[in-house]
């Protein structure tokens, strides 16, 4: 018996039947003696539908009103779920974020949670009531409705679990856990029983879209045991934890990839102090995020400089770089969208040498040209031609034995 926060994402509550299935799952846990707080997302497609309506009226909708609009999606789900629970004979009550005092700052559409008043929820739980809370939303100090950014219900769930000192926070979604890589690319991908917070953060920032990154950060900070499970099947899912695997275990936990980046190169840049700043300064001023950067050794007093940005920012970045190129007297600007970033992630690489060379050996054997490389303590990323994505992921998966259960 314990206190659990269950979060159900959009597809898990996408229809009345699914909402009823969720009610059965929650009732089963409650009948078992557990205290349950449920956090729900809007029914699948609803947040996009509402965003579309707003866009028909205002090109850039007023953020405060956008939050009022978007917060209604979750409100629909929470009330329907309570009705379904009550139909099953449970005592259940739904609350908006503001009603349970999820207090945030006032940055509309990307607010951050400041504090949560857990009293009302605890009182309900003690009285045997299942509490259903709307995800993704809160209230600022003045009582304005705020939202936490797309995917924000995950963060609501983790924040509630931290505030209520829950035993575990379960994120129910349409996959049954975190996999060694995307099973659509490598059918031999294996579900991980556990993964560390650090690894999960890397996987999420590298494009594994299971959890909102901020929720993982939050869970790590407050040491909330977080479990990702399927709402459609049984199973223990994947536990995200602080515990690191034993040394004999896998060096690499997973392979992530990101197809959303594009590469820009400026050639013939005078090799003088300040050149990098002149190139990247205007890009940063335009609020464009830069990911990987390479500057080559200077040859004949000029150098080539390459970096990557999100594909959506490519056109803007190219325009800025072209004008920088003219003012710097550089030679040319070229761009490439047909790239993919492939990364191997694992805390195991901290204590083992030779992981990078093993990765590069795989690319050498497969004749895949590496265009850029970046590393951190627990990750190695390379940029390659996107046509090699599947080959690269599958060869790495096999080379690092990710399809085999790690030794105990």
Q: Which residues bind ligand ASP (CB under 6 A)?
A: 9-10, 41-42, 47, 73, 135-136, 150-154
Rule CB under 5 A: is residue 9 a binding residue for Mg ion? yes
Q: CB of 73: closest distance to ligand ASP in angstroms?
A: 5
For residues 387 and 404, give the distance between their C-alpha atoms in angstroms, rounded to a whole number.
26
Which residues, other chains included, contact 55 with Cβ-Cβ below 8 Å and sequence gap of 6+?
A: 61
Q: CB of 154: closest distance to Mg ion in angstroms?
A: 6
Q: Which residues pair with 104 in a beta bridge?
A: 113
Task: Indicate which of Mg ion, ligand ASP, none lies near residue 98 (CB less than 5 to 8 Å, by partner kind).
Answer: none
Q: Which is nearer to ligand ASP, 90 or 139 (CB)?
A: 139
Q: Is 207 left (phi over 0), alpha (psi -120 to 50) or beta?
A: left
CA 321 → CA 259, 278, 318, 373, distances in Å?
A: 22, 10, 5, 22
- Tell me the two tokens of residue 384: 């390659």
Q: Which is nearer to ligand ASP, 41 or 324 (CB)?
A: 41
For residues 210 and 183, give the distance between their C-alpha atoms in angstroms, rounded to a whole number.
13
Q: CB of 63: closest distance to ligand ASP in angstroms?
A: 15
Q: Which is nearer to ligand ASP, 152 or 220 (CB)?
A: 152
Contact of 264 with 334, CB cutoff 8 Å: yes
DSSP run (H or E) holding 376:
strand 372-376
Q: Which is nearer to ligand ASP, 43 or 255 (CB)?
A: 43
Q: Which is nearer to ligand ASP, 218 or 400 (CB)?
A: 218
Q: CB of 34: closest distance to ligand ASP in angstroms?
A: 23
Q: CB of 30: closest distance to Mg ion in angstroms?
A: 24
Q: CB of 116: closest distance to Mg ion in angstroms?
A: 20
Rule CB under 5 A: is residue 14 a binding residue for Mg ion? no
Task: Indicate which of ligand ASP, Mg ion, none lies near residue 150 (CB less than 5 to 8 Å, by partner kind).
Answer: ligand ASP
What part of residues 133-192 is at the interface with Mg ion (CB under 5 A)? 151
Sheet holding 113-116, edge to edge: 113-116, 102-104, 137-139, 145-147
Q: What is the 3-state secondary structure (H, E, C) of 86-135?
A: HHCCCCEEEECCCCCCEEECCCCCCCCEEEECCHHHHHHHHCCCEEEEEC
Q: Which is nearer to Mg ion, 9 or 220 (CB)?
A: 9
Task: Indicate which of ligand ASP, Mg ion, none lies near residue 14 (CB less than 5 to 8 Å, by partner kind).
Answer: none
Q: CB of 37: closest distance to ligand ASP in angstroms?
A: 16
Q: Which residues pair with 262 in a beta bridge?
A: 309
Using CB under 5 A as the criterion, which residues of the chain lie in contact with Mg ion when the complex forms?
9, 151
């Amino acid at each position: 018996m314990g206190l659990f926060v269950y979060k159900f994402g959009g597809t898990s509550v996408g229809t009345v039947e699914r909402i009823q299935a969720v009610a059965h799952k929650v009732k089963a846990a409650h009948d078992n003696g557990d205290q349950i707080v449920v956090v729900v997302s809007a029914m699948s497609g609803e947040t996009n539908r509402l965003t579309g309506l707003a866009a028909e009226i205002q090109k850039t909708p007023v953020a405060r009103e956008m939050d009022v609009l978007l917060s209604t999606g979750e409100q629909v789900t929470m009330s329907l779920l309570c009705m379904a629970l009550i139909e099953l004979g449970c005592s259940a009550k739904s609350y908006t974020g503001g009603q349970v005092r999820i207090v945030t700052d006032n940055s509309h559409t990307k607010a951050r949670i400041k504090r949560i008043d857990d009293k009302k929820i605890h009182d309900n739980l003690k009285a045997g009531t299942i509490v259903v809370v709307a995800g993704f939303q809160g209230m600022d100090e003045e009582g304005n409705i705020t939202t936490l950014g797309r995917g924000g219900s995950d963060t609501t769930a983790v924040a509630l679990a931290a505030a209520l000192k829950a035993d575990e926070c379960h994120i129910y979604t349409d996959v049954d856990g975190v996999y060694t890589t995307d099973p659509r690319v490598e059918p031999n991908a294996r579900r991980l029983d556990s993964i560390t917070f650090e690894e999960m953060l890397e996987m999420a920032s590298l494009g594994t879209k299971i959890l909102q990154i901020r929720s993982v950060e939050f869970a790590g900070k407050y040491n909330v045991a977080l479990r990702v499970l399927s709402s459609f099947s049984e199973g223990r899912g994947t536990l995200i934890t602080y515990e690191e695997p034993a040394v004999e275990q896998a060096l690499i936990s997973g392979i992530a990839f990101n197809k959303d980046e594009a590469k820009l190169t400026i050639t013939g840049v005078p090799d003088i102090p300040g050149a990098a700043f002149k190139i990247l300064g205007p890009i940063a001023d335009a609020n464009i995020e830069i990911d990987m950067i390479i500057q080559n050794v200077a040859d004949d007093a000029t150098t080539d400089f390459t970096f990557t940005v999100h594909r959506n920012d490519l056109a803007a970045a190219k325009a800025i770089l072209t004008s920088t190129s003219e003012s710097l007297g550089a030679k040319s600007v070229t761009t490439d969208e047909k790239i993919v970033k492939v990364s191997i992630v694992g805390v195991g690489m901290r204590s083992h040498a030779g992981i990078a060379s093993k990765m590069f050996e795989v690319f050498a054997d497969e004749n895949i040209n590496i265009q850029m490389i970046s590393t951190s303590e627990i990750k190695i990323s390379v940029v390659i031609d996107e046509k090699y994505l599947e080959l690269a992921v599958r060869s790495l998966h096999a080379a690092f034995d990710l399809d085999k259960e790690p030794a105990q």
